[in-house]
Structure 1
Amino acid sequence: MTPLNEKLLIKEANINKYKFDKEWFFHLNDMAYFLKEDLSEVEYVYLPMIIDGEEEFVKCATFEDIIRGRKEL
């Protein structure tokens, strides 16, 4: 598994993210693509994000949720 660093993920331009109430939420599909991992076990919430100029409700998870839900290989 790829080790994760929240500060580096926040700076990553290829991952859509949303700061809500002092906590960062990451677009789950972007994270799965970035990590090349199955993140289907990660707990998520739907949040509004503007992607390509359009508002969409997408699956998002916190850094801690992603760490907790990653599957061990």
Structure 2
Amino acid sequence: MMLALYRAGRRGEALEIFQRIRGELVAELGLEPGAELRELHRRVLADDVRLLPGLPGPPSPLPPDIGDFVGPTTSSP
């Protein structure tokens, strides 16, 4: 929800969601938010443009494209 709000240009609301979630976690379970949620909060605070859609993200773990594929051919009648 935080990410969706941030991407919709509603940064303040995204930060409010974090505070609400954190408050509930601390009050009900005595736990702080996990690393992933804290990192998202930090990035929203910093206005990290890499959170916006359509921008380059981390490199793909896939290998580069292969050359021409060689395989059976079909002939037209």
TM range (shorter): under 0.3
> Normalized per residue, which structure has more helix?
2
TM-score by length of 1: 0.25
Structure of greater relative contact order (alpha carbons < 8 Å, 6+ residues apart) = 1
